[in-house]
């Protein structure tokens, strides 16, 4: 990708356009492969996503998400295999509960649950991956920078 896009992004940033930083936890067995596929198929999607590979969506402890948000990430994407397709049979069902919990926690604390997104993206769904990345980046751009970014005493 990405040298060119990265350069454009940096340019936009220096022009004062808000470029969200998004942390993406992608399941090794599906969504990570989908991201790869999107890459090799030269699909266009915004470069705002910092990808971390996890062995299953259920590996994402809500603490990881909160850590990212408190440290200033503007959004967190968790992506895994479609229900029924988890490599470990039921990991993604647990993941769904953890995300539901995390979002409710953020809501109760008056933070922004919209900054967290859970999506199912199969290994073959390169285009869907690009779509999710685009949509989510757009949503976060609308939301604006994460207010935790400037906080000193977190």
Partner 1 sequence: MAKVVEIPEGLEAFLISLLEKGIVSGLVVLKYLEESSKASYALVPAGGDTEGLAPLFPFMPANAGKVLSRLTLEGPFPNPIAVVVRPCEFRAFVELVKLEQGHMENLLIIGLECGGVYPLGKMVKENVGDFIGAYYEALKKGEIVPDIRPVCQGCDLFQPVGADIVVSVVGRGVPQLAFLTEKGLDAAEKLGLELKEGEVFAPLSQALLEARRERKGQIAEEIKGEVKGIEGLERVFGKCIGCHCCSHVCPICYCKDCFFESATFDYEPISYTERLERKGTLRVPMDTVLFHLGRMTHMATSCVGCGMCEDACPVGIPVSQIFKFIGSDLQELFGYVPGRSLQEELPLTTYRLEEFSEVEE
Q: Which residues are at the interface with partner 1 (CB under 8 A)?
A: 61-63, 66-67, 70-72, 83, 90, 93-94, 96-105, 108-111, 117-120, 132, 147-154
Q: Which is nearer to ligand FES, 30 or 77 (CB)?
A: 30
Name the residue with the smallest CB distance to ligand FES.
80
Q: Is 91 in the site for ligand FES (CB under 6 A)?
A: yes
Q: Is 30 in the site for ligand FES (CB under 6 A)?
A: yes
**CB of 81 within 8 A of CB of 120?**
yes
> Kind of pairing, strands 116-120 and 22-27?
unpaired
Q: Near ligand FES by CB under 6 A, which window of 8-16, 44-52, 85-93, 100-108?
A: 85-93
Biggest alpha carbon–alpha carbon distance for the chain? 47
Q: Which is nearer to partner 1, 120 or 129 (CB)?
A: 120
**Which of helix, strand or coil describes residue 74?**
coil
Cα gap 79→58, rounded to integer Å: 10
Q: Is 146 in the site for ligand FES (CB under 6 A)?
A: no
Q: Which is nearer to partner 1, 16 or 150 (CB)?
A: 150
For residue 9, count CB atoms less than 10 angstroms from its CB and return exposed for 0-12, middle for 13-18, buried for 19 or more: middle
């Amino acid at each position: 990708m990405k040298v060119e896009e990265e350069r454009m992004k940096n340019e936009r940033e220096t022009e004062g356009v808000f470029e969200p930083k998004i942390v993406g936890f992608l399941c090794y067995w599906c969504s990570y492969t989908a991201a790869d596929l999107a890459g090799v198929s030269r699909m266009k999607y915004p470069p705002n996503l910092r990808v971390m590979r996890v062995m299953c969506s259920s590996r994402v402890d809500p603490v990881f998400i909160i850590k990212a948000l408190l440290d200033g990430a503007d959004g967190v994407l968790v992506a895994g295999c479609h229900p029924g397709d988890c490599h470990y049979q039921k990991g993604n069902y647990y993941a769904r509960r953890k995300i539901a919990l995390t979002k409710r926690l953020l809501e109760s604390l008056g933070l922004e649950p919209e900054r967290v997104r859970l999506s199912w993206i199969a290994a073959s769904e390169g285009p869907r991956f690009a779509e999710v990345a685009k949509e989510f980046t757009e949503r976060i751009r609308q939301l604006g920078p994460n207010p935790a970014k400037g906080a000193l005493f977190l």
